[in-house]
């Protein structure tokens, strides 16, 4: 299932309805099997409306990635007034194999689109912007934790870059291997150890 609130405005907003149709077509057919017709099959309005807004599949998918980036920037991942350690733990809870709110379906869509960045500059730029946003978000949590005295004096940008690399690795394995749960659990245990010994101050 998609992230919560991603398509909340689909009934009123044509672009969001197109994005929702694109998402469901991607889930069903994957990038290689995706076409404007298959997106139109998931869309309540006419196929010609898709061509009115987009030149073709890739033009539409670039907008889909833009739509998702806008969603990330619009939605508060964790309440900003929560303690920094709680915000960080909540952020990484989403990759826990035991988390009932896991959105593996959407992660699979995103990983598949990410792979297209190898050959498409537009995809590469949007994936880069998404990664930069997440790094900046994590760095801001770390900065808050340092100011609050709950985190050690680390480099927020370097630490955030490391954490994003862990996140990317877990999400890639989660959608492309069959040993996901065991490996993810081991990685998260090591991540907890890293945070306890390298980031969190002792009470």
Domain assignment of residue 70, given as a range: 1-75
Residue 58 belongs to domain with CATH number: 1.10.10.60
The domain boundary, picked from 32, 50, 75, lies at 75
Span 88-125, pLDDT tens digits: 888 887 666 555 455 677 778 888 888 888 888 988 99
Same domain, 203 and 123: yes
Span 19-77, pLDDT tens digits: 999 999 998 998 889 999 999 999 988 888 898 889 888 899 999 989 888 887 776 56
Same domain, 38 and 125: no
Same domain, 65 and 111: no
The domain boundary, picked from 55, 75, 95, lies at 75
Q: What are phi and psi of 87, to 5 degrees?
A: -65, -40
Same domain, 65 and 124: no
Contact 164, 135 (CB under 8 A): yes
Structural domain count, the chain: 2
Q: How far apart are CA 99 and CA 21, in angstroms?
A: 27
Question: Given its phi and psi angles, is residue 195 left (phi above 0), alpha (psi -120 to 50 degrees) or beta?
Answer: alpha
Same domain, 68 and 85: no
Span 135-155, pLDDT tens digits: 999 999 999 999 999 999 999
């Amino acid at each position: 299932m998609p992230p919560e609130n991603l398509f909340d405005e689909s009934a009123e907003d044509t672009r969001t309805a197109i994005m929702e149709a694109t998402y469901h077509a991607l889930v069903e057919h994957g990038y290689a099997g995706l076409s404007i017709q298959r997106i139109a099959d998931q869309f309540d309005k006419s196929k010609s409306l898709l061509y009115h807004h987009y030149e073709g599949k890739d033009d539409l998918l670039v907008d889909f990635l833009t739509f998702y980036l806008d969603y990330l920037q619009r939605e508060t991942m964790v309440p900003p007034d929560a303690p920094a350690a709680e915000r960080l733990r909540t952020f990484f809870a989403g990759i826990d194999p035991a988390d009932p709110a896991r959105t593996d379906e959407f992660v699979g869509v995103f990983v598949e689109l990410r792979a297209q960045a190898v050959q498409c500059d537009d995809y590469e730029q949007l994936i880069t912007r998404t990664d930069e946003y997440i790094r900046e978000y994590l760095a801001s949590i770390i900065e808050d934790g340092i100011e609050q005295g709950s985190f050690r004096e680390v480099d927020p940008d370097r630490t955030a870059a490391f954490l994003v690399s862990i996140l990317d690795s877990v999400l890639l394995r989660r959608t492309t291997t069959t040993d996901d749960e065991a490996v993810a659990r081991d990685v998260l245990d090591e991540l907890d150890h890293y945070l306890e010994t390298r980031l969190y101050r002792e009470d």
